[in-house]
Structure 1
Amino acid sequence: MSLTVVLVEPAGPLNLGSVARLCANFGVEDLRLVAPRCDPGDLDAQRMAVHGDQVLKRARHFPTLFDALTDCQRVVASCGRIDHGEIPLQAPEQVMPWVQQGLESAAQVALVFGRENRGLSNEELLLSQRVVRLHSSEAYPSLNLSHAVAVMLHELERVRRQPTGQLNAVLQEVETAEPTQLINCLNDAEDLLLEAGFLLQHTARARMAKVKGLLQRALVRPEELAMLRGMVRQLRWAIRCHRP
């Protein structure tokens, strides 16, 4: 399987080391750090990693979450916040069969976790195809970073041990477009809509966030995304050719 755990701006060396240990516990070799706020070489991180020290040493660094996901076909984000806008949230038992199916088909799959103090922004959540809300108290829903990673990896391992027939019975879905490809298409569309006057600079970000949410919920297929991108490019060409 090809699974990666992505941590966005991890700040605590104890948490970072604990996540590296969890990766070793569950056979995850690829740990990616987005703009980390602590040093993976910190002694506290190394002590907490125990036999995950090699995972910690091999962890790759990326400047943005988008950069960390460019090779990923399936992306799942964890969300513990209540102010997530209209982004649909699912339980881990709903999402992990889809993750396992991707791993069995040799897809690159990412599990994304946010900052210890404020999680992932809504814009970052929209880079994923599924957003998971763990079962926790409504009064205090946000779990410690390493605890959230443990729950997600344990649920995936539970699903992995199910008979193949049970897994296939849960899933009857078509393949969806990669998140980064969708964002690239929407960036092209935003430029076109700004040029056409449909969007204004001061409202473009908010309006395009609604479009991103709509398309993520629609589970756009790769061939449908290619058609949308072709439409955008053809419209841009037509506008420029007929401009006086």
Structure 2
Amino acid sequence: MSELSILTPPVVILDKSQMAENIGAVARVMANFGLSELRLVAPRDGWPQERAWATASGADWVLEGVRVFETVAEAIADLQVVHAATARPRETRQPVRTPRETARTLYDDRASGLNVGLLFGGERAGLETSDIALCQGIVTIPIDPRHQSLNLAQAVAINAYEWRATVLDAPPPNFREAEPPADGALTLGMYEHLERELDAAGFFHPPEKFRSMSQNLRVMLGRAAFTAQEVATFRGVITALSKGRGRVLARLAAESKPVDE
């Protein structure tokens, strides 16, 4: 029981939630299993929504602490490890785990001082591939293929239960000795810096391939789990290469100038 007071549970992020009742139901199951921090990304009907309190069944502290963001990138900016809950990987190659495996991974990461979270999509459309590409793993619930309908609160409840069971039953956590990975804001800044320079160099061709190519790059680089220092080093490499390209272009322009008679 002492571990429960030591480890802060994962943050729960709901992307583009449509119904206040579902947000309240999520708050209720979070409270059931000891999770308390809920973040909303662009809720359809804004926030706060009175109907959420009715279905939260007294889990008021979860709803009162809700923070609202415009994008997933902003909502996970201070987190170093985020797992996206989705029924299928969708063109990405992050590790795919069950809720039980994910709970153990998050437990070890949280015990090592990392800020961790679970990202859930909206009731109808789920998560965008571009948002999944910002995460470090995928959590998929192994439900029976004959009936794959699972509502939002149920999905959160299963993952929240596995977290609590892991905290109560797991052996001592596996502590990291290495420097922790950079948070979401630093990582996203690196991605966008690289993409700007690659775009200027004509890498994204044809232009309609930009979205899929950039997502593949983000997933590939995300698997490396760069530390903050490694992000700074990699951005330095990008800057050096872009400046070098500028010098080459200037030299070519000078060489192409006509010689005065």
TM-score range, shorter chain: 0.7 to 0.9
Provide runs of 4+ in structure 1 moved above 6 Å. Answer: 171-174
Aligned amino acid, residue 207 of structure 1 = M
Alignment partner of 1:229 out of 221, 235, 252: 235
Aligned amino acid, residue 32 of structure 1 = R
Which runs of 5 or more structure 1 residues have no equivalent in the other structure?
none
What CA distance in whole angstroms lies between the structure 1 residues aligned with 2:20 and 2:198?
A: 44
Counterpart contact for 1:79–1:133, Cα < 8 Å: yes
Is 1:58 the counterpart of 2:65 in the alignment? Answer: yes
Q: What TM-score comes out, normalization by structure 1 length? A: 0.87
Counterpart contact for 1:71–1:108, Cα < 8 Å: yes
Is 1:187 the counterpart of 2:211 in the alignment? Answer: no
Q: Which has the larger radius of gyration?
A: 2
Moved more, 175-184 or 2-11: 175-184
Q: What TM-score comes out, normalization by structure 2 length? A: 0.82
Aligned amino acid, residue 44 of structure 1 = R
Moved more, 116-125 or 200-209: 200-209
Is 1:114 the counterpart of 2:125 in the alignment? Answer: no
Aligned amino acid, residue 239 of structure 1 = R
Is 1:99 the counterpart of 2:142 in the alignment? Answer: no
1:86-235 to 2 correspondences below 5 Å: 86-88=92-94, 89-165=96-172, 167-168=173-174, 175-200=180-205, 201-235=207-241
Counterpart contact for 1:116–1:145, Cα < 8 Å: yes
What CA distance in whole angstroms lies between the structure 1 residues aligned with 2:227 and 2:117?
A: 19
The two structures, once aligned, show a CA RMSD in angstroms of 2.5
| % same residue | 28
Q: 1:232 to 1:219 in 2, by over 3 A?
A: same
Counterpart contact for 1:13–1:39, Cα < 8 Å: no
Q: 1:233 to 1:139 in 2, by over 3 A?
A: farther
- 1:154 is displaced (CA, Å) by 0.4
Q: 1:112 to 1:83 in 2, by over 3 A?
A: closer
Is 1:8 the counterpart of 2:15 in the alignment? Answer: yes
> What is residue 3 of structure 2 aligned with on the other side?
none
Counterpart contact for 2:14–2:122, Cα < 8 Å: yes
What CA distance in whole angstroms lies between the structure 2 residues aligned with 1:60 and 1:134?
A: 26
